[in-house]
Amino acid sequence: MATALSACDVQVHDATPDQYPANYGVGMYEIKATVVPDSMVTPGSVTLFGLSGKQRIELVANRAGTEFHGMYAVRCQPSFPLQLKAIWRLQGLATKEKVVPDQPREIKLIEPEPTPTLVVDTTGSNKPPKGGWTGTVKYTFATQAETQITGARIDPTSQDAVDVNSAKAIAVTTPFPVDAQCGVPAELTLTSSSQSAHGNLVIDTNLPKYPHWTTRVEFAPK
């Protein structure tokens, strides 16, 4: 009897990656697994589900019934829990099921890097427009429902006198804090009193992945 029982199981291997780049648009992530049924499992009877909190995602099998995959939709969070539930029939016996692992895995969703550069075209009259030349930096966040940009400053790109003086021409005019909803671009407005200027825009946020971020900014005619 012990030998018969040992042939009644299904080995389940979770092949889902430990992490994915977070997607604030579609927000779909693949869950995949492989199974190895024992000899007394009815061929083609294995059904596999992904479990994430209260969500259950049915996985689709390949023709051989050994590989499964499905897509899970989740947005605006840094991770999601995952377990796999297998259900199968035995030849001439009852249906069996199991959930693996005992405790959910945590699949991390990695926040994309914020905007790295901004180039503002100041082509035109050498005379500055009223208020200076204006540019806008957009930041879009993906792993929490709301991200707050708490402050920003302009630093020189180096301590060379030319870079220090160039950065002094640029100012951040947006009032803070700025609240950015997940997947919705937040805008910071910059002005330059010089037609050609450059500097590093350093922002502070409440986002754990990027509490600080530097965007290189350049105002220049083409």
pTM for this one?
Answer: 0.86
The residue assigned the tokens 């012990």 is: 2
What's 117-220's CATH class?
A: mainly beta
Angstrom distances, CA of residue 88 to CA of 11, 44, 64, 160: 11, 9, 15, 70
Residues 6 or more apart whose Cβ sits within 8 Å of residue 195? 122, 126, 128, 133, 219, 220, 221
Domain chopping of the chain, boundaries:
2-110, 117-220
Mean pLDDT of the region 43-57: 96
Mean pLDDT of the region 188-214: 97
Mind listing the pLDDT tens digit for each residue in 89-129? Answer: 998 779 999 999 999 999 999 999 999 999 999 998 878 89
Are 33 and 48 in contact, with CB atoms under 8 Å apart? yes
**Mean per-residue pLDDT over the chain, rounded:** 94
Cα distance between residue 85 and residue 107, in whole Å? 17
Q: What percent of the chain has pLDDT over 90?
A: 89
- Are the folds of 2-110 and 117-220 the same? yes
What's 2-110's CATH class?
A: mainly beta
Q: Is the pLDDT of residue 4 over 80?
A: no
Mind listing the pLDDT tens digit for each residue in 60-77? Answer: 999 999 999 999 999 999
